[in-house]
Amino acid sequence: MAADQDTPGQDTLGYEQARDELVDVVRRLEAGGSTLEESLALWERGEELARVCRRWLEGARARLDAALSAEGTGTQGTADRDGEDPAV
């Protein structure tokens, strides 16, 4: 459990931080020279970081979809940017 406190939790990692750490993990794995145990730990951390990134991207996609949906349904009968009602 102490190791969890040393490493930022999944909930506290931002997308860019998780992505940057994932890139570092991949570089270390590709460079080789690690023991099997170290490589497995790196791979597991990489999987965790990939999940964090995926959740951030899915959340961003959902927000974009919601905004686009609201934009498409929210413009009927409302004033446009210059203050005129487009329905009139």
46 belongs to a structural domain: yes
Q: Which two tokens stand for residue 65?
A: 């979809």
Which domain covers residue 17, as residue numbers?
9-66
CA angle 5, 11, 17 (to 5 degrees): 85
pLDDT at 80: 53
- Residue listed under structure tokens 């080789």: 32
pLDDT at 11: 61
pLDDT at 71: 85
The pTM of the whole model exceeds 0.75: no
Tally of domains within the chain: 1
Contact 13, 55 (CB under 8 A): no
pLDDT confidence bin for 73, thresholds 50/70/90: confident
**What is the tens place of the pLDDT at every residue in 14-49?**
999 999 999 999 999 999 999 999 999 999 999 999
* CATH number of the domain within which 50 lies: 1.10.287
